[in-house]
């Protein structure tokens, strides 16, 4: 451990300013990854919210310190994450800001160069961490100026040990990436007629066009045109990444809105005052205005 710690003091650091975050390029080493889903990591992390702080702690029965929480979550899923923040920042693969997925480890710094505390990304622009001054395991928002200014970089410990993938696995992977990227824009304001391929504002179809485009899937600009591509999906047989189409109060029963099926009975879309948001497919208003669905990921 001491030898590894010394190596960690030699940083290959490059500063990049992107999307308001300062990113640090850490050297990458392989984490010993097992086959475990990002959703499992997310759910198990959230289950620890409320556990007490304990200096040096890494068990739910006694409590956690900051690196101990990360160590426990991954160790309990067969992944040998290190026990210190600096070591945790070395392993895994680098993740660009806003490309986070469930389970990614986010690092923060007080001096802009060395990692001082970290947390596990759980989606919706939030992460779970333990305050270094005590307290308990909590959920924090990345929209906070405090965390924006101290964000250092992120690492991904999860990976596939398989060298081959079926087309269904590939489609699932693309869908996960689409939902993950879309998730990172939660709260972005809605503006009707928003320009394509910019992220300051979205309308429903510029949002879907953008997040699919960033994952290699080209879509037309409008919801009605998007409803004409891909293959038809019967009601209730949706898969993550499918596009669901709706009428609105002003469209006289015609398609005028598009959303991404995010899995677990939710859609990811943008409209009105919430901007980009998740909504249940069982919501009575949206259910009453549902029109059709299309699968655009091959």
First-to-last CA distance in the chain?
46
Q: How far apart are CA 103 and CA 176, in angstroms?
A: 13
Burial of 20 (0-12, 13-18, 19+ CB in 10 A): exposed
Q: How far apart are CA 218 and CA 210, in angstroms?
A: 9
Domains in the chain, ordered, with CATH?
A: 2-156 (3.90.1720.10), 167-295 (3.90.1720.10)
Q: What is the mean pLDDT of residues 37-49?
A: 91
Q: How far apart are CA 251 and CA 61, in angstroms?
A: 56
Beta strand 257-263 with 266-271 is: antiparallel
Reference 142, options 161, 121, 160; nearest CA is: 121
Mean model confidence pLDDT for the chain: 84
Q: How far apart are CA 110 and CA 84, in angstroms?
A: 16
Assess contact for 137 and 51: CB atoms under 8 A.
Answer: yes
- What pLDDT does residue 3 have? 40
Please report which confidence band the pLDDT of residue 34 belongs to, taking 50, 70 and 90 as the band edges.
Answer: very low
Q: How far apart are CA 246 and CA 298, in angstroms?
A: 23
% residues pLDDT > 70 (the chain): 84
- pLDDT tens digit sequence for 173-202: 889 899 999 999 999 999 999 999 999 999
Please report which confidence band the pLDDT of residue 71 belongs to, taking 50, 70 and 90 as the band edges.
Answer: very high
- pLDDT tens digit sequence for 196-237: 999 999 999 999 999 999 998 999 999 999 999 999 999 999
């Amino acid at each position: 451990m001491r030898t590894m710690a010394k190596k960690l003091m030699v940083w290959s650091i490059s500063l990049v300013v992107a999307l308001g975050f300062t990113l640090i390029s850490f050297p990458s080493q392989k984490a010993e990854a097992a086959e475990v889903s990002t959703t499992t990591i997310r759910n198990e992390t959230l289950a620890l919210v409320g556990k007490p702080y304990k200096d040096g702690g890494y068990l739910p029965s006694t409590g956690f310190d900051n690196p101990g929480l990360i160590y426990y979550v991954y160790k309990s899923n067969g992944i040998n994450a290190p026990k210190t923040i600096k070591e945790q920042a070395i392993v895994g693969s680098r993740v660009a800001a806003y490309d986070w997925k469930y389970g990614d480890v986010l690092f923060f710094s007080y001096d802009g160069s060395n990692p001082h505390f970290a947390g596990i990304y759980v989606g919706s622009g939030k992460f779970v961490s333990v305050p270094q001054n005590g307290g308990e395991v909590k959920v924090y928002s990345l929209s906070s100026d405090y965390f924006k200014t101290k964000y250092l970089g992120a690492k991904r410990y999860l990976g596939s040990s398989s060298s081959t993938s079926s087309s269904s696995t590939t489609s699932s992977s693309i869908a996960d990436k689409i939902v993950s990227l879309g998730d990172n824009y939660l709260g972005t304001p809605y503006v009707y007629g928003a320009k394509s391929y910019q992220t300051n504002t979205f309308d429903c179809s510029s949002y879907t066009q953008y997040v699919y485009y960033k994952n290699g899937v080209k879509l037309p600009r409008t919801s009605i045109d998007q409803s004409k591509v891909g293959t038809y999906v019967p009601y209730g047989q949706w898969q993550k990444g499918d596009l669901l189409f709706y009428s609105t109060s002003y469209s006289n029963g015609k398609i005028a809105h598009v959303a991404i099926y995010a899995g677990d009975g939710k859609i990811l879309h943008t409209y009105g005052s919430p901007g980009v948001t998740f909504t249940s497919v069982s919501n009575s208003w949206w259910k009453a205005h549902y029109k059709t669905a299309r699968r655009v990921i091959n």
